[in-house]
């Protein structure tokens, strides 16, 4: 079994809007309702900004886009290489408890 590590952050942040949409698409693909998370105070505006900023610094953004572009009808697990995996998984778990 190989150990997977997080991708080190890039020194330059990626385009804000591109990563905003990557996070939106990641949430949808993995069954996370971001509007519900915000409405239920599971995710604050500060959390949202932090998630997008982390995405902007991720070295796996190109791979993420390719992963998201693979057509899937069912909800998928968060990919192990996603730098936001821990926080998004936490949000998803909190929403499931509501």
pTM: 0.85
Is residue 65 included in any domain, yes or no? yes
Is residue 57 included in any domain, yes or no? yes
Is residue 7 included in any domain, yes or no? no
* Count of domains for the chain: 1
Say how far residue 39 (Cα) sits from the centre of its chain: 18
Over 60: is that where the pLDDT of 30 sits? yes
Confirm if 66 and 14 have CB atoms less than 8 A apart: no
Is residue 1 included in any domain, yes or no? no
The pLDDT tens digits of the residues spanning 56-87 come to 999 998 899 999 998 888 899 999 999 999 99
Angle at 76 between CA 72 and CA 82, to 5 degrees: 115
Is residue 11 included in any domain, yes or no? no
Domain boundaries, position 32: 16-70+78-97
């Amino acid at each position: 079994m190989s150990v997977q590590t997080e991708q080190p952050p890039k020194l330059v942040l990626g385009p804000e809007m591109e990563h905003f949409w990557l996070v939106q698409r990641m949430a949808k693909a993995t069954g996370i309702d971001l509007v519900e998370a915000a409405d239920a105070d599971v995710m604050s505006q500060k959390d949202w900004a932090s998630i997008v900023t982390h995405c902007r610094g991720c070295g796996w953004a190109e791979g993420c886009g390719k992963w998201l572009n693979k057509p899937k009808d069912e909800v998928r697990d968060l990919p192990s290489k996603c730098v936001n995996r821990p926080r998004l998984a936490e949000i998803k778990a909190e929403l499931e408890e509501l």
